[in-house]
Structure 1
Amino acid sequence: MTDSGRTERHPGPPPTPPPVPPPAAGGRDGAPQPVPTNADEALAIGRLYFPEVGSPGGPAELFVHEFDLGYLIHAGWPPPADPTAPPAEPGGSNVVLSRSDGEVSFLPNFPPEAAMELFHRSYRPKSA
Protein backbone atom coordinates (compact mmCIF):
# COMPACT_ATOMS: atom_id res chain seq x y z
CA MET A 1 0.00 0.00 0.00
CA THR A 2 1.15 3.52 -0.65
CA ASP A 3 0.92 6.44 1.67
CA SER A 4 -1.90 8.79 0.61
CA GLY A 5 0.02 11.89 1.56
CA ARG A 6 -2.59 12.91 4.12
CA THR A 7 -1.39 13.96 7.51
CA GLU A 8 -2.90 12.31 10.53
CA ARG A 9 -4.98 14.60 12.77
CA HIS A 10 -5.47 14.19 16.46
CA PRO A 11 -8.46 16.45 17.10
CA GLY A 12 -8.36 16.27 20.88
CA PRO A 13 -11.20 15.31 23.16
CA PRO A 14 -14.67 14.80 21.73
CA PRO A 15 -17.12 17.70 21.95
CA THR A 16 -19.11 18.15 25.10
CA PRO A 17 -22.54 16.56 24.70
CA PRO A 18 -25.60 18.78 24.94
CA PRO A 19 -27.09 19.18 28.41
CA VAL A 20 -29.53 16.57 29.55
CA PRO A 21 -33.07 17.93 29.47
CA PRO A 22 -34.32 18.78 32.93
CA PRO A 23 -36.61 16.45 34.81
CA ALA A 24 -40.16 16.75 33.64
CA ALA A 25 -41.78 19.83 35.09
CA GLY A 26 -44.99 18.33 33.85
CA GLY A 27 -46.43 16.36 31.02
CA ARG A 28 -44.56 13.07 31.38
CA ASP A 29 -45.90 12.12 34.79
CA GLY A 30 -49.42 13.36 34.14
CA ALA A 31 -48.87 16.82 35.64
CA PRO A 32 -49.54 19.72 33.26
CA GLN A 33 -46.65 21.39 31.44
CA PRO A 34 -46.07 25.00 32.44
CA VAL A 35 -47.49 27.19 29.68
CA PRO A 36 -45.66 30.49 29.24
CA THR A 37 -47.85 33.56 28.86
CA ASN A 38 -45.07 35.98 27.91
CA ALA A 39 -41.47 36.07 26.70
CA ASP A 40 -40.03 36.38 30.23
CA GLU A 41 -41.81 33.22 31.39
CA ALA A 42 -40.71 31.41 28.23
CA LEU A 43 -37.10 32.43 28.86
CA ALA A 44 -37.25 31.18 32.45
CA ILE A 45 -38.53 27.78 31.26
CA GLY A 46 -36.11 27.73 28.31
CA ARG A 47 -33.07 28.33 30.55
CA LEU A 48 -33.55 24.80 31.88
CA TYR A 49 -32.56 23.41 28.48
CA PHE A 50 -29.25 25.23 28.01
CA PRO A 51 -25.96 25.37 29.93
CA GLU A 52 -25.77 28.28 32.37
CA VAL A 53 -25.21 31.60 30.62
CA GLY A 54 -21.59 32.67 31.04
CA SER A 55 -20.39 29.25 32.21
CA PRO A 56 -17.25 27.82 30.58
CA GLY A 57 -18.36 26.54 27.19
CA GLY A 58 -21.85 27.92 27.84
CA PRO A 59 -23.79 30.52 25.90
CA ALA A 60 -23.08 34.22 26.20
CA GLU A 61 -26.78 35.05 26.04
CA LEU A 62 -30.21 33.52 25.44
CA PHE A 63 -32.73 35.08 23.06
CA VAL A 64 -36.50 34.69 22.86
CA HIS A 65 -38.56 35.19 19.71
CA GLU A 66 -42.29 35.28 20.26
CA PHE A 67 -44.45 34.06 17.37
CA ASP A 68 -48.03 32.93 16.81
CA LEU A 69 -47.54 29.28 17.88
CA GLY A 70 -45.04 29.76 20.70
CA TYR A 71 -41.68 31.03 21.85
CA LEU A 72 -38.38 30.19 20.19
CA ILE A 73 -35.38 30.26 22.53
CA HIS A 74 -31.86 30.09 21.13
CA ALA A 75 -28.38 30.67 22.47
CA GLY A 76 -25.88 33.31 21.46
CA TRP A 77 -22.33 32.05 21.75
CA PRO A 78 -19.17 34.12 22.27
CA PRO A 79 -17.17 34.71 19.10
CA PRO A 80 -14.47 32.09 18.50
CA ALA A 81 -10.82 33.00 19.07
CA ASP A 82 -10.08 31.98 15.47
CA PRO A 83 -13.06 32.80 13.23
CA THR A 84 -11.54 30.81 10.34
CA ALA A 85 -11.35 27.55 12.32
CA PRO A 86 -14.24 25.08 12.27
CA PRO A 87 -16.39 25.13 15.39
CA ALA A 88 -15.06 23.08 18.30
CA GLU A 89 -18.55 21.85 19.14
CA PRO A 90 -20.77 22.01 16.06
CA GLY A 91 -24.49 21.56 16.35
CA GLY A 92 -26.85 22.77 19.00
CA SER A 93 -30.53 23.31 18.94
CA ASN A 94 -33.33 25.78 19.33
CA VAL A 95 -36.07 25.19 21.88
CA VAL A 96 -39.70 26.02 21.14
CA LEU A 97 -42.35 26.24 23.85
CA SER A 98 -45.88 25.87 22.54
CA ARG A 99 -48.37 28.61 23.45
CA SER A 100 -51.26 26.15 23.57
CA ASP A 101 -49.94 23.50 25.96
CA GLY A 102 -46.33 24.32 26.92
CA GLU A 103 -44.98 21.36 24.94
CA VAL A 104 -41.22 21.59 24.44
CA SER A 105 -39.81 20.93 20.97
CA PHE A 106 -36.21 20.88 19.84
CA LEU A 107 -35.31 22.19 16.39
CA PRO A 108 -32.01 22.35 14.51
CA ASN A 109 -29.82 25.36 15.13
CA PHE A 110 -31.27 27.31 12.20
CA PRO A 111 -31.62 31.10 12.13
CA PRO A 112 -34.78 32.13 14.05
CA GLU A 113 -36.95 32.77 10.99
CA ALA A 114 -36.09 29.39 9.43
CA ALA A 115 -36.60 27.58 12.75
CA MET A 116 -40.03 29.18 13.25
CA GLU A 117 -41.00 28.22 9.68
CA LEU A 118 -39.91 24.64 10.33
CA PHE A 119 -42.01 24.60 13.51
CA HIS A 120 -45.02 25.86 11.54
CA ARG A 121 -44.61 23.01 9.05
CA SER A 122 -44.05 20.27 11.61
CA TYR A 123 -46.11 21.21 14.69
CA ARG A 124 -49.12 19.03 15.37
CA PRO A 125 -50.97 19.97 18.56
CA LYS A 126 -51.87 17.11 20.85
CA SER A 127 -55.51 16.16 20.71
CA ALA A 128 -57.36 16.21 24.01
Structure 2
Amino acid sequence: MTESDRPPGSTPGLPPTPPPYHPRLGPEPLPTNQAEALAIGRKHFPEVGSPGGPTGLYVHEFDIGYLIHASWPRPEDPTAPPAEPGGSNVIISKIDGEVSDVPNFPPGHAVELYHRHYRRRTS
Protein backbone atom coordinates (compact mmCIF):
# COMPACT_ATOMS: atom_id res chain seq x y z
CA MET A 1 0.00 0.00 0.00
CA THR A 2 1.43 3.35 -0.95
CA GLU A 3 1.02 6.47 1.17
CA SER A 4 -1.55 7.84 -1.30
CA ASP A 5 -3.66 4.66 -0.83
CA ARG A 6 -3.86 5.08 2.95
CA PRO A 7 -7.10 6.32 4.46
CA PRO A 8 -6.93 9.78 6.03
CA GLY A 9 -5.90 9.64 9.68
CA SER A 10 -3.95 6.37 9.39
CA THR A 11 -0.38 6.08 10.62
CA PRO A 12 2.46 5.06 8.26
CA GLY A 13 3.93 1.69 9.21
CA LEU A 14 0.73 0.52 10.92
CA PRO A 15 -2.23 -1.35 9.43
CA PRO A 16 -4.94 0.85 7.88
CA THR A 17 -7.41 2.43 10.27
CA PRO A 18 -10.60 0.32 10.38
CA PRO A 19 -13.90 1.90 9.38
CA PRO A 20 -15.84 3.60 12.18
CA TYR A 21 -17.91 1.32 14.40
CA HIS A 22 -21.61 2.12 14.43
CA PRO A 23 -23.21 0.37 17.41
CA ARG A 24 -26.75 -0.85 17.14
CA LEU A 25 -28.79 1.58 19.21
CA GLY A 26 -31.89 -0.55 19.54
CA PRO A 27 -34.21 -2.86 17.67
CA GLU A 28 -35.26 -2.24 14.12
CA PRO A 29 -38.63 -0.56 13.60
CA LEU A 30 -41.56 -2.95 13.88
CA PRO A 31 -42.42 -4.29 10.44
CA THR A 32 -46.13 -4.19 9.68
CA ASN A 33 -46.04 -6.28 6.51
CA GLN A 34 -43.81 -8.61 4.49
CA ALA A 35 -42.35 -5.81 2.35
CA GLU A 36 -41.15 -3.89 5.43
CA ALA A 37 -39.72 -7.10 6.93
CA LEU A 38 -37.87 -7.82 3.68
CA ALA A 39 -36.38 -4.30 3.66
CA ILE A 40 -35.01 -4.88 7.17
CA GLY A 41 -33.84 -8.39 6.27
CA ARG A 42 -31.89 -7.19 3.19
CA LYS A 43 -29.40 -5.51 5.56
CA HIS A 44 -28.38 -8.94 6.86
CA PHE A 45 -27.54 -10.65 3.55
CA PRO A 46 -25.18 -9.89 0.68
CA GLU A 47 -26.83 -8.00 -2.17
CA VAL A 48 -29.05 -10.23 -4.32
CA GLY A 49 -27.21 -11.12 -7.54
CA SER A 50 -23.80 -9.98 -6.29
CA PRO A 51 -20.84 -12.36 -6.69
CA GLY A 52 -21.27 -14.99 -3.99
CA GLY A 53 -24.61 -13.45 -3.01
CA PRO A 54 -28.05 -15.03 -2.98
CA THR A 55 -30.28 -15.31 -6.04
CA GLY A 56 -33.30 -14.16 -4.06
CA LEU A 57 -34.66 -13.34 -0.61
CA TYR A 58 -38.01 -14.63 0.60
CA VAL A 59 -40.30 -13.83 3.52
CA HIS A 60 -42.21 -16.42 5.53
CA GLU A 61 -44.67 -14.71 7.91
CA PHE A 62 -45.70 -16.49 11.11
CA ASP A 63 -47.57 -15.57 14.28
CA ILE A 64 -44.82 -13.57 16.06
CA GLY A 65 -42.38 -12.73 13.31
CA TYR A 66 -41.07 -12.82 9.78
CA LEU A 67 -38.47 -15.35 8.62
CA ILE A 68 -36.19 -14.03 5.86
CA HIS A 69 -34.39 -16.76 3.95
CA ALA A 70 -32.23 -16.75 0.84
CA SER A 71 -31.94 -18.90 -2.25
CA TRP A 72 -28.47 -19.56 -3.58
CA PRO A 73 -27.21 -20.42 -7.08
CA ARG A 74 -26.82 -24.09 -7.94
CA PRO A 75 -23.25 -25.30 -7.49
CA GLU A 76 -21.37 -26.26 -10.66
CA ASP A 77 -20.65 -29.68 -9.15
CA PRO A 78 -23.59 -30.77 -6.99
CA THR A 79 -21.57 -33.72 -5.61
CA ALA A 80 -18.80 -31.48 -4.23
CA PRO A 81 -19.02 -30.21 -0.64
CA PRO A 82 -20.19 -26.59 -0.36
CA ALA A 83 -17.49 -23.93 -0.64
CA GLU A 84 -19.01 -22.04 2.30
CA PRO A 85 -21.04 -24.45 4.46
CA GLY A 86 -23.54 -23.24 6.98
CA GLY A 87 -25.37 -19.98 6.79
CA SER A 88 -28.33 -18.60 8.60
CA ASN A 89 -31.76 -17.15 8.19
CA VAL A 90 -33.02 -14.00 9.88
CA ILE A 91 -36.15 -13.60 11.97
CA ILE A 92 -37.61 -10.18 12.70
CA SER A 93 -39.93 -10.07 15.71
CA LYS A 94 -43.39 -8.53 15.29
CA ILE A 95 -43.38 -7.86 19.04
CA ASP A 96 -40.25 -5.76 19.53
CA GLY A 97 -38.48 -5.57 16.14
CA GLU A 98 -35.50 -7.60 17.38
CA VAL A 99 -33.54 -9.31 14.61
CA SER A 100 -32.36 -12.86 15.38
CA ASP A 101 -30.25 -15.30 13.41
CA VAL A 102 -31.46 -18.89 13.17
CA PRO A 103 -29.77 -21.81 11.41
CA ASN A 104 -30.40 -22.33 7.72
CA PHE A 105 -33.16 -24.87 8.36
CA PRO A 106 -36.36 -25.25 6.33
CA PRO A 107 -38.82 -22.51 7.35
CA GLY A 108 -40.97 -24.70 9.61
CA HIS A 109 -37.98 -25.96 11.59
CA ALA A 110 -36.43 -22.49 11.85
CA VAL A 111 -39.71 -21.04 13.18
CA GLU A 112 -40.04 -23.90 15.69
CA LEU A 113 -36.50 -23.22 16.94
CA TYR A 114 -37.29 -19.51 17.25
CA HIS A 115 -40.46 -20.26 19.22
CA ARG A 116 -38.44 -22.33 21.72
CA HIS A 117 -35.82 -19.57 22.04
CA TYR A 118 -38.41 -16.80 22.34
CA ARG A 119 -40.31 -18.62 25.12
CA ARG A 120 -37.06 -19.00 27.09
CA ARG A 121 -36.23 -15.32 26.61
CA THR A 122 -39.58 -14.11 27.94
CA SER A 123 -39.88 -16.55 30.87
TM-score of the two chains, using structure 1 as the length reference: 0.73
Matched, 1:75 2:74: no
Considering only aligned residues, what root-mean-square deviation do their CA atoms show, in Å?
1.8
Q: Deviations over 1:49-96 (max 9, x none)?
A: 000000000000001000001000011001100111110000110100
Change beyond 3 A, Cα 1:116–1:52: same
Aligned equivalent of 2:33, options 35, 38, 60: 38
Change beyond 3 A, Cα 1:62–1:23: farther
- How far the C-alpha of 1:23 sits from its partner, in A, is 5.5
Matched position secondary structure for 2:73: coil
Structure 2 unaligned segments of length 5 or more: list them: 1-21
Matched, 1:88 2:83: yes
Matched, 1:116 2:111: yes
Which whole-Å CA distance do the structure 2 matches of 1:109 and 1:47 have between them? Answer: 16
Change beyond 3 A, Cα 1:23–1:66: farther
Structure 1 unaligned segments of length 5 or more: list them: 1-21
Would you say the 8 A contact 2:28–2:40 is kept in 1?
no
Aligned equivalent of 1:98, options 77, 93, 99: 93
- How far the C-alpha of 1:33 sits from its partner, in A, is 2.8
Percent identity over paired residues: 71
Aligned residues: 101
- How far the C-alpha of 1:108 sits from its partner, in A, is 0.6
Q: Spell out structure 1 runs of 4+ moving beyond 2 A.
A: 124-127
The aligned residue for residue 48 of structure 1 is: 43
Q: Deviations over 1:34-59 (max 9, x none)?
A: 11000000000000000000000000
